[in-house]
Structure 1
Amino acid sequence: MASHHTRSLSFPSKPHPIADQLDEQLCRLKSSQAASTSSLTNKLTSLKELYQSVDEFLQLPIGQKTISQTQWTEEMLDGSLRLLDICATSRDALVQSKERLQDIQSVLRRRCSGEFNITSEVDEYLKTRKTSKKIIKKCLKDIKEVDNTNEANVLKDVQALTVDVFKSLLSYISGSQKSSWSFSKLISQKAEKDSTASTNEFDVVDATLELMICQKKKANIVDISQLVKLESEIQEIEEVLESLFRHLIKTRATLLNVLSN
């Protein structure tokens, strides 16, 4: 993952308090992203709060001056559109995965004594995950780093950092690229999940369901609490993404408005 050096932003000698706040939020999120010291949900929440400050900054004369004097207006607009696309791709993948998880849970909760079959629901989940991984792989391949070496500009820094956080999000949703896991690997992964905050719940659930299908094991190896946990994580991320998406739209609209005047 690319790192972006903290440097003095293009503010005047006595910046507005909002400019100071934006600078501080940028530095904190850069440090968090580089050191992986917080959860993905926390990073996305911090990114949403950063865009709240960006929205306020762009309403100020200093913010509008920053936009009007920039030398990379086309790149800035292209970048804002790309961020919206990445956010939408991530949100769609999360929604589809959550719906398939809910289908599996619905069958598990209706089970009575004796045998029951969730093969079709698991197949649909795994197909959805396979499709999402292909889309995300292409999305990650198409992401081009924001040029962050020439003009010092706060909005350029914000876009570059947003790309980094979104790459982390896409990698989390995609999970492991391995097609199948051994039973010992699955047990090891489950044992590790309680001792580390970095465990990818998508990997754990994917491994369990792949094992069930590939080795034709009974549905009782599926731990419904693990499905609920993943669904809960998806829901949290989805809610933050929805709010962040609205801020991205607002920021792009403000950019277009300022540049058209």
Structure 2
Amino acid sequence: MASSTIYHARSISLPSRPHPVAEQLDEQLFRLRSSLSASTSLSVSHGLNSLTDLYTSVDEFLQLPLNQQSLSHNQNEINQVLDGSLSLLDICSASRDALQLSRECLQDVQSALRRRCSGELSITSKATEYLNTRRSVKKAIKKCLKNLKPAIELKDESHATVSLLKDVQAMTADSLKSLVSYIAGSQKSGWSVVAKLINKDVTTSRSTFDDVDAILNSLICQKKSGISSSQMEELRSQISKLETEIEDVDEALECLFRNLVKTRATLLNIFSY
């Protein structure tokens, strides 16, 4: 997936010899930036785990006395970073809510499949509920993306530590947009608006969300002609696959959320000295 964010073309090194943590951050940012620019096939959960590793290094970076001293003298700029962190936390929370809603509705569809003897009406009813939930999810994503873009906008900064934190947030924003595109899917319903808000070239390869959506839409359209056993098996298979993916992504997202909260708390503590 190509990234539209313009990152600072500079080293994060401080005036003195760079600390090993600073060099590690440079390396992690470079790898993440390259993976986004190259549209790699890395899984969404893998990308989130890489972000979590990045924030572990950020926390180490913020513990360095020299960096804490420099940040304490740049409170206006760091206030912008703190504002940005709230929007990142919002999109994380919205994404987790979307995954949880999707998982609950998938379980309802699975329950209907197990009770197929009660008739196909139950299956199509649960399919409709699931697809309605998907539309609600896209509306929630749209709202968060509207708040995300201005808060993460980069400005030229001369201070290396402030500039680093903004680069990290920009990278986080782009990675979360990749997550959003995975959840929203590439189908027409609701996707065009989300794609515009992401404001970048979005890879529209089909996700498992797309596959489940397509099967359920097909079942609804052909309920009068009957649903075949092969369609039922395909639906079970895709739902099982999607549930596994949702679990992996949700676990990775929870770890990232905790690290975002920790970084925000560290910044607030620096200003309380």
Q: TM-score range, shorter-chain basis?
A: 0.7 to 0.9
Residues 112-121 or 139-148, more deviating: 112-121
Separation in structure 2 between the aligned mates of residue 144 and residue 115 of structure 1, nearest angstrom: 44
Find 1:259's aligned residue among 243, 247, 271: 271
Q: 1:128 to 1:65 in 2, by over 3 A?
A: same
* 1:199 CA displacement: 3.0
2:215 is equivalent to residue 208 of structure 1: yes
Separation of aligned partners in 1, 2:222 and 2:44: 33
Aligned to 2:200: none
**Is 1:235 equivalent to 2:247 in the alignment?**
yes
Aligned partner of 1:199 in structure 2 is 206
Q: Which residue of 1 aligns with 2:186?
A: 176
Q: Which residue of structure 1 lines up, in the alignment, with residue 128 of structure 2?
A: 123
Mapped contact 2:52–2:255 kept (Cα < 8 A):
yes
Secondary structure of residue in 2 paired with 1:143 = helix
Matches within 5 A, 1:36-47: 36-37=39-40, 38-47=42-51
Q: Which residue of 2 is the match for residue 249 of structure 1?
A: 261
| Matches of 1:218 and 1:125, distance apart in 2 | 20
* Amino acid corresponding to residue 133 of structure 1 in structure 2: K
TM-score (norm 2): 0.82
TM (norm. structure 1) is 0.85
For 1:66 and 1:102, the matched residues in 2 are separated by 51
- What residue identity is the alignment partner of 2:32? L
Q: 1:76 aligns with which of 75, 78, 81?
A: 81
- Report if the CA contact (8 A) 2:106-2:130 is conserved: yes
Query: Any unmatched runs of 5+ in structure 2?
Result: 191-203
1:199 and 1:119 map into 2 onto residues whose CA distance is: 23
Question: CA offset at residue 233 of structure 1?
Answer: 0.7
State the secondary structure of the residue aligned to 2:17.
coil
> 1:94–1:66: structure 2 CA closer, same or farther, 3 Å change rule?
farther
Deviation at 1:235, TM superposition (A): 0.7
The match for 1:35 is: 38
Alpha-carbon deviations, 1:91-141, whole Å to 9, x = none? Answer: 100111011112212332354598673122212211110100111123223
Contact in 2 for aligned 1:4/1:30 (Cα 8 Å): no
C-alpha contact (below 8 Å) 2:49/2:252 kept by paired residues: yes
1:3 aligns with 2:5: yes
Paired position in structure 1 for 2:55: 51
Q: Matched residue of 2:122: which SS?
A: coil
Separation in 2, partners of 1:205, 1:157: 36
Which residue is 1:109 aligned to? 114
Contact kept in structure 1, 2:5 and 2:170, CA below 8 Å: no
Residue of structure 2 equivalent to 1:157: 167
- Is 1:117–1:219's contact at 8 Å kept on the other side of the alignment? no
CA distance in 1, matches of 2:72, 2:96: 32
Counterparts in 2 of 1:33 and 1:69: CA distance versus 1, 3 Å: farther
1:249 to 1:240, Cα distance in 2 relative to 1, 3 A:
same
CA distance in 2, matches of 1:219, 1:251: 51
Quick check: 38-47 or 65-74, which moved more? 65-74
Could you tell me how far 1:260 is from its partner in structure 2? Answer: 2.2
Q: What 5-or-longer segments of structure 1 have no aligned partner?
A: 181-196
In structure 2, relative to structure 1, the CA distance for the partners of 1:127 and 1:2 (3 Å cut) is: same
- 1:52-81 deviation line (CA, Å, top 9, x unaligned): 111121122133134224351221110011
For residue 196 of structure 2, what is the aligned residue in structure 1? none
Greater CA drift, 197-206 or 126-135? 197-206
- SS of the equivalent of 2:149 reads coil
Quote how far apart the aligned CAs of 1:251 are: 0.6
Is the contact made by 2:186 and 2:206 (CA closer than 8 Å) also made in structure 1? Answer: no
Count of matched residue pairs: 246
